[in-house]
Chain A
């Protein structure tokens, strides 16, 4: 488990519990993300990664637990208020505004008022992810890889302090993934706390300084990539227990 006392944490999730009917989707999950670092979150399907993002961004109310943004409790704030405090995210199932162009998507994000920190201009954000050429294309015409980059640019245009990325590399080619990784490290280098949910475990291991492993709604392990790679519980979660069934 991560220490919940580090003062430098930009995002802190403490003992969050989410229950859907009888199903415990998140079971006392805690997580910390520090500025300038990429924090990884991995785990099998249905482990609760996206639910955790929904709790952090306010789309899903937790039954218990708190979410702290820069040390301030935001658990009861509406999603848009959290966003204005510097929280941005992308979505696993793309949530681009398909009726708008790429530029409009990013402009919309840049134009939101009432922010704590100034946003980035739409041009700058598009430049950062290398999508200036596609500015006038309708967002629902983009291939997945590019669409994910637009979501990233849109999130960056809000001038985030904490950036949550939900499977940003899925649907991207190897080369695209590599470019994406560069962008990610550059973004973290600006002092943004990045939380990365990704199925591409290799990408997570190469990019993150801290990795949390989520399994059945619980944090199974947390530590550096090296620690995670050698963790018995993690290997078991991914590969299963030794066969106990006669063939």
Chain B
């Protein structure tokens, strides 16, 4: 059912003479809440098979950008392309079905469903619920022990694991992670990012948004800084890291 790309396979088809086009591209994307514009023309592209980290302080518009990309928030200007197709206005459900998976900020789980039911929700994007469940338990054995528990009663780390597990188990072509490490102990963050790195090795294209800069720079191929509703810098991770302190604390 993954329609965007040959998900766990190495990126673009071999023998393609044209340089691979971006898998996800935002061109001059604007978005607003009521009359308040928060994205003032975001340009960003995610190449097939790469891990792109987007960093920036609170209120820079990172989450809004991801919500626009995933079809949860309307654009007020610009275009979003996924695999070369304009997806402005496509519903989140449609995008999920073609393999764009967003793990939203702040525990992307259904608190009143059990762990198992949370995983089985992935069946709605066309996956075999049993396979999703098994893949998730394999990746995070801790979840297997808690399968009958309500997700809302899990610890913060376990909730984030569940959210990530559900995302990963669907074999997405594009994985979009929003503040994966928010509120988690360093050890848990490490475990989660271990899984992200593992996925990256298998060729999944990943867009990560983080405030906790250093963790994500370790796995990213490229990084970007977002400030005040715009992408202000894109470059190699170490290059970006050196500019971060200024962006956050005004050095």
Q: Say if the two chains contact directly (CB < 8 Å).
A: yes
Query: Which of A's residues lie within 8 Å of B, judged by CB?
Result: 21-22, 44-46, 94, 140-141, 143-144, 167, 170-171, 199, 201-202, 205, 216, 229, 235, 238-247
Contacts of B135 in A (CB 8 A): none
Which of A240, A244, A247 has the most chain B CB within a 10 Å cutoff? A240
Contact with A238, one of B36, B193, B216, B248 (Cβ below 8 angstroms): B248
CB closest residue in chain B, given A173:
B228
Contact with A244, one of B58, B190, B211, B250 (Cβ below 8 angstroms): B190
- With A22-B152, A240-B214: A202-B250 Cβ-Cβ less than 8 Å: yes
Judge whether B245 and A239 touch: CB under 8 Å: yes
Please measure, in the bound complex, the distance between the C-alpha atom of A141 and the C-alpha atom of B34, giving whole angstroms.
11
Contacts of B197 in A (CB 8 A): 245-247
- With A241-B215, A242-B214: A46-B182 Cβ-Cβ less than 8 Å: yes
- With A44-B58, A45-B58, A229-B249: A239-B186 Cβ-Cβ less than 8 Å: no
What count of chain B residues pass the 8 Å CB interface test?
A: 36
Contacts of A239 in B (CB 8 A): 212-214, 244-245, 248
Q: Is residue B84 within 8 Å, beta carbon to beta carbon, of the partner chain?
A: no
Q: Is residue B181 within 8 Å, beta carbon to beta carbon, of the partner chain?
A: yes
Judge whether A216 and B218 touch: CB under 8 Å: no
Q: Is residue B235 within 8 Å, beta carbon to beta carbon, of the partner chain?
A: no
CB closest residue in chain A, given B107:
A23
Contacts of A21 in B (CB 8 A): 111, 152
Judge whether A143 and B190 touch: CB under 8 Å: no
Judge whether A245 and B218 touch: CB under 8 Å: yes
Chain B 57-74, CB-CB to A under 8 Å as 1, else 0, gives: 111000000000000000
Judge whether A245 and B211 touch: CB under 8 Å: no
Please measure, in the bound complex, the distance between the C-alpha atom of A245 and the C-alpha atom of B195, giving whole angstroms.
10
Please measure, in the bound complex, the distance between the C-alpha atom of A229 and the C-alpha atom of B246, giving whole angstroms.
12
Q: Is residue B183 within 8 Å, beta carbon to beta carbon, of the partner chain?
A: yes
Chain B 182-222, CB-CB to A under 8 Å as 1, else 0, gives: 11001001100110010000000000001111111111100
Judge whether B190 and A45 touch: CB under 8 Å: no
Please measure, in the bound complex, the distance between the C-alpha atom of A143 and the C-alpha atom of B58, giving whole angstroms.
21
Judge whether B218 and A247 touch: CB under 8 Å: yes
Contact with A241, one of B106, B214, B219 (Cβ below 8 angstroms): B214
- With A201-B57, A247-B197: A240-B215 Cβ-Cβ less than 8 Å: yes
Which of A171, A239, A246 has the most chain B CB within a 10 Å cutoff? A239
Q: Is residue B145 within 8 Å, beta carbon to beta carbon, of the partner chain?
A: no
New contact pairs (7) apart from A140-B35, A235-B249, CB-CB < 8 Å: A22-B152, A45-B179, A238-B211, A240-B213, A243-B217, A244-B190, A247-B218
CB closest residue in chain A, given B216:
A240
Contacts of B211 in A (CB 8 A): 44-45, 238, 240
